[in-house]
Amino acid sequence: MRLVQHFRDLEGREAARRVVSIGNFDGVHVGHRAVLAAARAEADRLGCELAVLAFEPHPAELFDRARPALRLADPDQKAALLAACGVDLALFQRFDAAFAALTPATFAAEVLDRALRAVSVVVGEGFRFGADRVGDYTALRGFGEALGFSVVAAPLVTDGGEGVSSTRIRAALLAGDVAAARRLLGRPYEVRGEVEHGRGLGSGFGFATANLGGVRVLLPAPGIYAARCAAAEAVHPAAVYLGDRPTLGHGPSLEAHILDFEGDLYGTRVAIAFVDRVRGERRFDGVEELRVQMAADVARIRAILEADRG
């Protein structure tokens, strides 16, 4: 899959027409994949490439710079997920004030027609575009008729009677319900980061942990989780802690105790895939009580992961 970061970089360079799907595709969840499957089928029918137009950073980050990270996949992970869906070209359009100010007519003419050379555009339900999000599906169809591309609306994917959305997934993660997030994503929620030096406190009572930094996505609610950790060219069972370490009093942390693993991971990037939440965060009366609870947590996590087929 080819990756481009601004629509101007495509102008006048390629004559091929494309099927284009537009959206943030944050997390590339089951609803997104339904849209992409429809777009891939349309591209195959027309003998065209499939292009995706997404935005970096997420538009919400431009308009509210103080908000915490809410994205569900970092750009590298999003690119890999899109490639796995059969996307040939991904335009991760730099979303800045100038791009946000494009009118719907300019967006259709310059981005979809001139740069991406759309022959067909596939969008999800509720699609909006252009400055102040004033453009909608009906407007896009009108522009398409004038510019020579068709517009296809992919059906909404539902779960439990509600549409699958990135907003629902964020709400599930913030509630610690990684099992629900997994169902909506179609895979376990994954967090990537670099292993940093910690205080070594876990090693002191038998539970050495890899401390992750540089995480760029939303973190689930504080607590203990059963997870799998991709590290050292293998996937390992792991007990993951998220929270403020109230018993030890050393501030916020994301730590993975990788089961049955010995090795130096400092400075390497690892990926943690959350399977289930074991319990919430709590304060213990001392280190010994914490150690006993951690042993019980690890035993439960082993059972959860052994029963889970991934």
Q: Give the model confidence (pLDDT) of 269-299 as tens digits.
A: 999 999 999 998 877 766 777 788 888 999 9
Q: Give the model confidence (pLDDT) of 114-145 as tens digits.
A: 999 999 999 987 888 888 889 999 999 999 99
- pLDDT grade for 54, boundaries at 50, 70 and 90: very high
- pLDDT grade for 224, boundaries at 50, 70 and 90: very high
Q: What is the pLDDT of residue 53?
A: 97
Distance of CA 69 to the CA centre of its chain: 11
Q: What is the pLDDT of residue 65?
A: 59
> Does residue 206 register a pLDDT over 70?
no
Between CA 2 and CA 83 the distance in angstroms is: 9
Distance of CA 41 to the CA centre of its chain: 24
Between CA 293 and CA 299 the distance in angstroms is: 10
SS3 19: strand
Q: Give the model confidence (pLDDT) of 137-159 as tens digits.
A: 999 999 999 999 999 999 899 99
What structural domains does the chain harbor? 2-159 (3.40.50.620), 188-307 (2.40.30.30)
